[in-house]
Amino acid sequence: MKAIVTSAFDMYRVGVGPSSSHTVGPMRAAFDFRQALLALGGPAPVARVTVTLHGSLALTGRSHHTHLAVTAGLLGMQPATAEPGEVLAAPDLAHRSGGLPLPGRLVAFDPERVIVAQTRERPAGHPNTLVFRALDAGGAPLLERTYESIGGGFVRPIDDDGAGGVGAGGRVPPRPFSTMADLLGLALAAGTPLSAVIIANERAAAGAPEQEVIARMLAIWRTMDACIESGLQAEGLLPGGLRVARRAGHFHRATLKEPKEAPLHAVRLAQTYALAVNEENAAGGRVVTAPTNGAAGVIPAVMRVAREVFGAGDEAIARALFTAAGVGMIIKEHASISGAEVGCMGEVGSAAAMAAAALTELRGGAPGHVEYAAEIAIEHSLGLTCDPIAGLVQIPCIERNAMGAVKALSASEIALVTENGAHQISLDRVIRVMKRTGEDMQTKYKETALGGLAVSHVEC
């Protein structure tokens, strides 16, 4: 068994919108290339830097702020600490500075001219590929790095010959697992919830006591919760030209007027909170990948409902987020969380499965119930396309998060009322089907804005 070494905290990255694969990942790649530039020796100084975007990054990168993110990363900004306004202003800063200020020199870099979208050729590897080049004054190459932005803010550097690459690394955890069957076996053998297995591994990786690990996840939950609040307070139109109005605040006020005993109260709350997060994401605000920016609203919305409707405390929510992360790790390992690779079943579908698992554990479900809830959510997301209109993470992405949150609630309900969580199709089996379905899906339905709803205004 090849144990998963991805951290739970890698599944929840604090960053800026609108996209983890097109904004957060490219910024991380650009920052990494900047660090390589700083370490570059030799007699010939770097005179200029160029960046080439391939695949989905080339087709929808501009509407996802990829050029802003790349510029910000090269200027030394990182997603977790950069303010949204700083990222938006990064090209202006590069222009005012005359390029990229590096210690002892200024490297020529005009974002509008040297960040080039290569749309003619499909990349051999992952569809979200970036190539950075550093050149001397005569145009001779000094350094070249290729990166794949593989979803959720994860970045995979590729060796210069294109054959290698570095995946997520780390020590083998003390309670290793690769599949949901492995994770279930560990939990059942120890008589613990699934979250306890993930927490034990995080404790070992950090060399920290349990409460310190829990406190770190509590900080993630509070950032998610703060994003909901920001989205509820904001009004007006979202940027990008589609004239999409923010609705979360209006929906929330209307929902609060109805009695809490109303049949669909929890559903309406979940929809409202998901809308709030993804409106913030679409505006380039501060969000947490869960597991991606495009699906960032599902888990926070369901966890907020868990607190307000089911009475879950914040520490219990933090623990349940480890369970959600475990499900996300398995999906990422055996399928994908990238919309450019498998469509939106990898984003909102994965988020719904993660949220359903977390909610089911919070409501007292046994590990079998938790696995079943996640399986239901993925099974009924198979084939979900990623076809945003104008390449913007707005239509259908914002409403799709609201629907994903409701799907998580329904999946949890079905699992919990099933005796012992008994079911016929395992989560591992559905994840394998998810991968094959993504491979069969046409490219135009995978975050390229070339098919589906993305062209509905042209075709209909």
Paired tokens of 231: 């989205």
Alpha-carbon distance 425 to 181, whole Å? 12
104 vs 232 pLDDT, higher one: 232
Please give the mean pLDDT across all residues of the chain: 93
Closest CA relative to residue 72, chosen from 34, 40, 116: 34
pLDDT confidence tier of residue 171, bands split at 50, 70 and 90 = confident
pLDDT confidence tier of residue 41, bands split at 50, 70 and 90 = confident
Terminal-to-terminal C-alpha distance of the chain: 50
CATH class, domain 18-158, is: alpha beta
Q: What is the pLDDT of residues 345-391, one digit of tens each?
A: 999 999 999 999 999 999 999 999 999 999 999 999 999 999 999 99
pLDDT confidence tier of residue 126, bands split at 50, 70 and 90 = confident
| pLDDT at residue 210 is higher than 60 | yes
Paired tokens of 382: 């198979």
Mean pLDDT of all residues in 119-134: 84
165 vs 283 pLDDT, higher one: 283
| pLDDT at residue 65 is higher than 90 | yes
- Asked which of 117-121, 159-163, 273-277 is least confident by mean pLDDT, the reply is 159-163
pLDDT confidence tier of residue 308, bands split at 50, 70 and 90 = very high
Alpha-carbon distance 13 to 20, whole Å? 9
| In contact, 349 and 384? CB cutoff 8 Å | yes
| pLDDT at residue 399 is higher than 90 | yes
Strand partners for 132: 51, 145
Contacts of residue 328, defined as CB under 8 A and 6 or more positions apart, other chains included, come to 11, 291, 337, 350, 353, 354
Structure confidence at residue 170 (pLDDT): 60
- Using the structure block, give the residue that is written with the tokens 């599944």: 11
Structure confidence at residue 160 (pLDDT): 43
| In contact, 16 and 145? CB cutoff 8 Å | no
Alpha-carbon distance 223 to 314, whole Å? 12
Mean pLDDT of all residues in 424-438: 98
Mean pLDDT of all residues in 204-229: 97
Closest CA relative to residue 351, chosen from 393, 404, 284: 404
| pLDDT at residue 436 is higher than 70 | yes
Structure confidence at residue 93 (pLDDT): 95
Structure confidence at residue 106 (pLDDT): 92
Alpha-carbon distance 135 to 45, whole Å? 8
Paired tokens of 455: 């062209």
Contacts of residue 83, defined as CB under 8 A and 6 or more positions apart, other chains included, come to none
- Count of helices and strands (H, E) across the chain: 20, 9
In terms of DSSP bridges, do strands 115-118 and 48-55 run parallel, antiparallel, or are they unpaired? parallel
| pLDDT at residue 165 is higher than 90 | no
Mean pLDDT of all residues in 42-69: 91
Alpha-carbon distances, residue 41 vs 136, 142, 315 (angstroms): 12, 10, 49
Structure confidence at residue 123 (pLDDT): 67
Composition of the chain by helix, strand, coil, percent to 5:
55, 10, 35
Mean pLDDT of all residues in 301-306: 98
pLDDT confidence tier of residue 105, bands split at 50, 70 and 90 = confident
Cα dihedral 335, 145, 36, 61, rounded to 10, equals -70
User: What percent of the chain shows pLDDT beyond 70?
Assistant: 95
Predicted TM-score (pTM) of the model is 0.93
Paired tokens of 191: 């008589």
Mean pLDDT of all residues in 278-285: 97
| pLDDT at residue 164 is higher than 80 | no
Domain boundaries, the chain: 18-158, 180-459
Structure confidence at residue 168 (pLDDT): 39
